[in-house]
C-alpha cells in the first residue's frame, strides 16, 4: 500500500474539521467524553488555528493508495521549542493494522530530523504499543519511555532523536 503525506492547505481545513470528530470519538474511550445532545462529538475548531498561523505547526493528511486515511498534526512542543511533537495522529479504522500509520510516522520523522517526543495517554495501552512498535521500526533509533505531566494529565512520553538521512 502506498502511503503519502500531503500538507493541508487552508483551503482544505474544512476536511480536517470534518474528520476531527472521529478522532474525538476514538479518544473518548480514554477521556470519558460524550457526544453532545445532537449525538455529535464536537471540538473547538479554533484549536486548529495555529496550524495556519505558526510556521512551527504543520498539518498533514495521510493518504493510502490515494484515499484519505487520516491526519497528523506536527508542531514544536510549546514548552521546549527544540523538540518536535505530534499533537494529534489519527488513522481511520479502515486502514488500521495495515502499516499506514507506521509508514506515515516514518515519513514525518524523516522530514523533520532532530529531537522528538510522542505523548500517549496512560490509559491508551494499544496506542502505546503502536508508538513503541513504530519507533522501533525506525532503524538506529534509541528511545526513552517515561511518565510525565502534559498540562494536567500524566502521560507516557516517548523521547528519541533522529538524524538527517
The CATH number given to whatever domain includes residue 109 is 3.40.630.30
Number of H-type helices and E-type strands within the chain:
4, 7
The pLDDT tens digits of the residues spanning 71-120 come to 999 999 999 999 999 999 999 999 999 999 999 999 999 999 999 999 99
Q: What was the pLDDT predicted at 76?
A: 97
Would the pLDDT of 141 be above 90?
A: no
Lowest mean pLDDT among 55-69, 104-118, 149-163: 149-163
Contact between 60 and 74 (Cβ < 8 Å): yes
Give, in degrees to the nearest 5, the angle at Cα 31 between 29 and 32.
70
Domain count, the chain: 1
22, three cell numbers = 472521529
pTM: 0.93
Per the DSSP assignment, residues forming a β-bridge with 150 are 153
Would the pLDDT of 29 be above 90?
A: no
Range of the domain at 118: 3-162
38's torsion region: left (phi>0), alpha (psi -120 to 50) or beta? alpha
Across the chain, what does the average pLDDT equal?
Answer: 93
Q: What was the pLDDT predicted at 164?
A: 58
Amino acid at each position: 500500500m502506498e502511503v503519502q503525506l500531503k500538507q493541508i492547505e487552508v483551503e482544505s481545513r474544512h476536511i480536517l474539521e470534518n474528520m476531527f470528530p472521529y478522532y474525538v470519538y476514538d479518544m473518548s474511550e480514554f477521556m470519558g467524553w460524550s457526544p453532545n445532545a445532537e449525538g455529535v462529538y464536537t471540538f473547538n475548531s479554533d484549536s486548529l488555528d495555529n496550524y495556519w498561523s505558526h510556521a512551527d505547526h504543520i498539518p498533514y493528511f495521510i493518504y493510502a493508495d490515494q484515499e484519505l486515511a487520516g491526519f497528523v498534526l506536527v508542531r514544536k512542543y510549546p514548552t521546549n521549542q527544540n523538540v518536535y511533537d505530534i499533537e494529534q495522529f489519527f488513522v481511520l479504522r479502515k486502514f488500521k493494522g495495515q502499516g499506514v500509520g507506521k509508514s506515515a510516522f516514518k515519513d514525518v520523522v524523516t522530514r523533520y530530523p532532530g529531537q522528538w517526543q510522542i505523548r500517549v495517554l496512560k490509559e491508551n495501552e494499544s496506542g502505546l504499543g503502536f508508538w513503541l512498535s513504530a519507533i522501533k521500526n525506525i532503524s538506529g533509533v534509541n528511545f526513552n519511555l517515561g511518565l510525565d505531566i502534559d498540562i494536567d494529565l500524566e502521560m507516557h512520553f516517548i523521547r528519541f532523536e533522529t538524524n538527517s538521512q
